[in-house]
A and B are shown apart, each in its own frame.
Chain A
Amino acid sequence: MAGLSTTRDQGMGGVYLGMRSRRAIQHTVAYLLIAAMLVIALMPLAWMFGTAFETVEQTRITVPIQWIPNPVTFENYVKGWATRDWLHYLRNTVFLAVFVGVPTMLSCTLAAYAFARMKFPGSEALMLLNISLMLIPDQVTLVPRFVMMARMGWVGTWLPAIIPSMLALNPAMVFVLRQFFRAIPNDLSDAARIDGCHDLGIFWRIVLPLSRPILALQIVLITSWAWNELLFALLYLKDKSMQTLTLAMQGFIGIREDTAWGQMMAMSVLMSLPMMVLAYYGQRYFTEGFTLSGIKG
């Protein structure tokens, strides 16, 4: 914006001024639009954080809206925390992320590596099958899978989370990792091979270290899956000892006259904080991961 006054003194005249001022206007419009977008997107969050620190009486006053509570109280956190054993549900949510995440990462990396950098008959056709599997809704296989797990006596244990994960049951991850591995230059692995490195060595010493951003992205995605997941929990983690945060929150959410909104918001804040921290530190992997994962095909 400062550009407007300085360019006016220059002899170049109208053209230069025109371009400069048009840019200034464009930037101002961009700022306004970005601000509007952020206000709309962040309003629910501001409301959540605000209400979490309000007393019951403050919550009841709806007009004018108080975005920043005065005075600030922590009673919602204290009372909400006491309603159930949140640490127990947190532990189970972490278990779910680990029990699904670790075996999935192992099996999918291996499969994706084979698809990306090894020659074997039928690899193209199998990859096409993998891409089609990405597009089949989970609900299609839901019931038979459950019956199968029940027959095996696995319902009520963590095995329904672990066993399918050991078998690379995440076609999207196999696809994304394969795209990533394919983009790693062959020169590196050729050089290593000349130095006497075997396939496993190339995989372990060259491909995996270079894939750190995409693997970090997968960890972020699986953790946030565990924090969001409801259907799997409803079927397989029904037992009180295995319930996750989402299931615990389900019993906490309600629309009644006597709903403890403040406590509901306080517990939502607590549940959201780990994900916000994870996203903050994981965000550079997002751009890197998506840019390099070759969605372009």
Chain B
Amino acid sequence: MLPFVFILPWILGVLLFQAYPILDAFYHSFTIYDVFQPAKWVGLRNYRNLFENTYTRMALLNTLLYVAVSVPGGLIVGLLQALLLNVKVRGLQLFRTLAIVPGTVPAAGAAAVSVFIWSPGLGLINSILEWLGLPWRQSWIIDPVMVKWIFIFMTIQGGIGMLIFLAGLQNVPQELYDASKMDGARSVQTLFSVTLPMLTPYTLFNLLTSLIGAFQYFTAPMLMTGGGPAGGSTFYAQIIYENAFVFFRMGHAAALAWILFVICVVIVFAVFRSSASWVYYEGGN
């Protein structure tokens, strides 16, 4: 009896706040619904409209670009940072602490600083370029194409993925390094045949969480640009939010949410299927 008492809140939570909303969104994605009047069935019209809507298409393309570049980029940078912070040099503890600091700045603070850094007028980047005498001053954050790359660049910064890789590195058994050294392997060989394979479970975890996180990218663009200029930094999560809570097109928002759901399920499934061939579990789990 006791296990069910312990788990009852969880079951209620799943039913009320996960299962029901997902099914409800599925139903309403086939309707026109503004909360104030009863939903009206329109079949596939929402889905058709979405694919014809240039704004939606742009947000989807921005998001796919963001995911495709920032996820692998973030993994590589996080891994490199973790490897560097695992070299046994003097002052390592201090370096690790310093490396964590930028990630602790809250989203609003980071947004404020980034807007300043990339602002064309008094911004840091343009100041540095001028200081170095380089003729590359740009309009950066007020340019509809460059703005996407600013958000991608901002995201590619170690962060929590780096910490997870670092924790993973502590779990690699010393015997493996010793054995590799005995066999006369060079550092690069050890990296590719010991360290990286042993880290693959952490890579899988980081890959999945950063993929799902990237599809939900919302806070930084909302704070910094509100999706502008000219929709250049409008990402998928923002148009779900806007359709539902600015335009009260709940049906549209539900269709968008379901497309996102399907995309994520497909990606997660593909990653898991492929993981059998590249993730190494010690003890063959």
Q: Are A272 and B10 within 8 A (Cβ)? A: no
A51–B115 alpha-carbon span in the complex (Å): 13
Q: Are B106 and A246 within 8 A (Cβ)? A: yes
Q: Are B219 and A228 within 8 A (Cβ)? A: yes
Q: Are A140 and B257 within 8 A (Cβ)? A: yes
Q: Which residues of B, 243-272, contact A by the 8 Å Cβ criterion?
A: 244-245, 250, 253-254, 257-258, 260-261, 264, 268
Q: Is the interface of B mostly helix, strand, loop or mixed?
A: helix
Say whether A208 faces chain B, with CB atoms less than 8 Å apart: no
Q: Pick the interface stretch among B42-50, B52-60, B68-76, B118-126.
A: B118-126
Q: Chain A nearest CB: distance from B6 CB in Å?
A: 4
Which chain B residue shows the least CB distance to A252?
Answer: B112
Identify which of A136, A235, A252 gathers the most chain B CB atoms within 10 Å of its CB: A136
* Interface magnitude class on chain A: 35 or more
Which of B14, B157, B167 lies in contact with A41, CB distance below 8 A?
B157
Q: Are A47 and B7 within 8 A (Cβ)? A: no
Identify which of A31, A59, A174, A199 gathers the most chain B CB atoms within 10 Å of its CB: A31
Which chain B residue shows the least CB distance to A286?
Answer: B163
Given contacts A38-B95, A111-B9, A145-B17, A253 and B224 within 8 Å (CB-CB): yes
Q: Chain B nearest CB: distance from A202 CB in Å?
A: 11
Identify which of B100, B109, B128, B216 gathers the most chain A CB atoms within 10 Å of its CB: B109
Q: Are A167 and B13 within 8 A (Cβ)? A: yes
Q: Are A135 and B264 within 8 A (Cβ)? A: yes
Q: Are B99 and A41 within 8 A (Cβ)? A: yes
Q: Pick the interface stretch among A8-16, A94-102, A185-193, A273-281.
A: A273-281
Say whether B205 faces chain A, with CB atoms less than 8 Å apart: yes
Residues of chain B within 8 A (CB-CB) of A138 are: 216
Q: Are A249 and B240 within 8 A (Cβ)? A: no
Q: Are B104 and A249 within 8 A (Cβ)? A: no
Which of B22, B89, B281 lies in contact with A297, CB distance below 8 A?
B281
Q: Are A199 and B113 within 8 A (Cβ)? A: no
Contact with B along A118-150 (1 / 0, CB 8 A): 111001001001100101111111111111101
A150–B106 alpha-carbon span in the complex (Å): 29
Q: Are A224 and B122 within 8 A (Cβ)? A: no
Q: Are B222 and A250 within 8 A (Cβ)? A: yes
Q: Which residues of A, 146-200, contact B by the 8 Å Cβ criterion?
A: 146-148, 150, 164, 166-169, 174, 199-200
Given contacts A142-B244, A164-B17, A295-B202, A44 and B102 within 8 Å (CB-CB): yes
Q: Are A145 and B21 within 8 A (Cβ)? A: yes
Q: Are A140 and B108 within 8 A (Cβ)? A: no
Q: Are B131 and A297 within 8 A (Cβ)? A: no
Q: Chain A nearest CB: distance from B56 CB in Å?
A: 14
Given contacts A246-B107, A253-B224, A290-B164, A167 and B16 within 8 Å (CB-CB): yes
Q: Chain B nearest CB: distance from A13 CB in Å?
A: 19
Which chain B residue shows the least CB distance to A108?
Answer: B10
Residues of chain A within 8 A (CB-CB) of B222 are: 230, 234, 250
Given contacts A145-B21, A297-B281, A231 and B10 within 8 Å (CB-CB): no
Say whether A211 faces chain B, with CB atoms less than 8 Å apart: no
Residues of chain B within 8 A (CB-CB) of A199 are: 2
Q: Are A255 and B108 within 8 A (Cβ)? A: no
Q: Are A141 and B21 within 8 A (Cβ)? A: yes
Q: Are A44 and B9 within 8 A (Cβ)? A: no
Identify which of B11, B13, B224 gathers the most chain A CB atoms within 10 Å of its CB: B13
Given contacts A120-B4, A253-B115, A148 and B122 within 8 Å (CB-CB): no
Q: Are A295 and B164 within 8 A (Cβ)? A: yes
Q: Are A255 and B13 within 8 A (Cβ)? A: no
Q: Are A111 and B2 within 8 A (Cβ)? A: no
Say whether B174 faces chain A, with CB atoms less than 8 Å apart: no
Say whether B191 faces chain A, with CB atoms less than 8 Å apart: no
Q: Are A62 and B126 within 8 A (Cβ)? A: yes
Q: Chain B nearest CB: distance from A103 CB in Å?
A: 9
Q: Chain B nearest CB: distance from A55 CB in Å?
A: 13
Given contacts A249-B108, A265-B112, A287 and B163 within 8 Å (CB-CB): yes
Which chain A residue shows the least CB distance to B202?
Answer: A295
Residues of chain A within 8 A (CB-CB) of B16 are: 148, 167
Given contacts A136-B261, A137-B215, A290-B164, A146 and B112 within 8 Å (CB-CB): no
Q: Chain A nearest CB: distance from B97 CB in Å?
A: 7
Q: Which residues of B, 153-182, contact A by the 8 Å Cβ criterion?
A: 157-158, 163-164, 166-168, 170-171
Which of A27, A44, A224, A254 lies in contact with B106, CB distance below 8 A?
A224
9 of the cross-chain contacts (CB-CB < 8 Å) are: A107-B10, A120-B3, A126-B11, A140-B257, A142-B240, A145-B17, A199-B2, A224-B104, A291-B167
